[in-house]
Amino acid sequence: MNKFIILIISIFLFEGISAQSIEVQADYNSIGDCIFSAYNNSKTPMYLNIDFADLENTTFNETLPYVKKLDPGFNSLFTLERDLDADIPRFNYEMKSFRSDPTSIINLDFPYLIPFGPGAKVKAKEVKSIAGFRGSEELKSWVAVGFYAKAGDKVYASRQGTIVEIAGKTKGDNPQNWYNTWNNSITLLQADGTLICYRNVVDKNKSLKLNQKIYAGELMGEIAPSATDLKILIYQNSLGSTDLRFIIPMFCVGENENEIVNIAKEYVVVHPNSVRGLEMTKKEKRKILGIK
């Protein structure tokens, strides 16, 4: 059977910001099965949702809702197997793409590290505005975490993730690749499928790169010149809505002690290996933490 392109999708995630197109392809094999694959043309991972309806001569056997993480480049998806007593599979479907996993179930008790150097004394602050995060669009609801800081303070990853955007003094690259419209920010796709954006952070030494894995407690950058705080946004897409879901995390504030940070308290930063290693493999624990 001839190969054909099912559809090229370009879903607009933000006002003026669109996801890079994902090419979804279906090939019929010699017995009439329909083999689906996708090509992610963006530079970073994305999530694809396919929703089938009116299936004929086949059965969709994947877990529903079907959401697949797509690494940059080629990705295998699934096969619609032909009913051997019928004609080739026929179907209708809808597709959407997302920057984060819209089906991820968030563990609200997961301990995040306070993102400054161990031993530092820090105070949380109320975040009253995230103006410009989505351009001129106003969010219906949001939550964020803030810490007082000064230019040059070292910033460490609160949780393990993959770098998906590095924005300096100005936003470079193609706007289609932007995760938000904030400059001086670093955005990671975390292990649970959520996104975390660190605002007022710069990679002064240009040591970071897209798709680089960052471990909890690993140095990422420093507070940008003239900045007086660090803002953290943790969020994910919604499967059936254009709204984002925001998360307020629990922070590790001592050995076996976690809490939502209080603006009335001062914290001494701790990065216990027991927390840093939560999402590491045994090999990574040996290499990075020295744990046998």
251-268 confidence digits (pLDDT tens): 999 988 999 999 999 999
Say what percent of the chain tops pLDDT 90. Answer: 77
Q: How many CA atoms lie within 13 A of 98 on its CB side?
A: 29
Whose structure tokens read 């699934």?
A: 78
Parallel, antiparallel or unpaired: strands 111-113 and 121-125: unpaired
Question: What pLDDT is attached to residue 173?
Answer: 74
Report whether pLDDT(11) > 70. no
Going by C-beta distance under 8 Å and a sequence separation of 6 or more, which residues neighbour residue 141? 243, 246
How many CB atoms neighbour CB 66 within 10 A? 17
- In this prediction, residues 70-89 reach a mean pLDDT of 93
- In this prediction, residues 121-150 reach a mean pLDDT of 93
Give the separation between CA 207 and CA 187, rounded to whole angstroms. Answer: 15
Give the separation between CA 27 and CA 35, rounded to whole angstroms. Answer: 5
Give the separation between CA 115 and CA 84, rounded to whole angstroms. Answer: 57
Question: Which domains, from first to last, does the chain contain?
Answer: 4-98 (2.60.40), 111-289 (2.70.70.10)
Count of positions (residues) in the chain: 292
> Is the entire prediction scored with pTM above 0.85?
yes
Residue 135's pLDDT band, with cuts at 50, 70 and 90, is confident
Lowest mean pLDDT among 130-134, 149-153, 156-160: 130-134
**Residue closest to 260 by CA, chosen among 251, 271, 268, 270:** 251
Task: Classify residue 109 by burial, with Cβ atoms within 10 Å: 0-12, 13-18, 19+.
Answer: exposed
pLDDT in tens, 209-225: 999 999 999 999 999 99
Question: What pLDDT is attached to residue 180?
Answer: 94
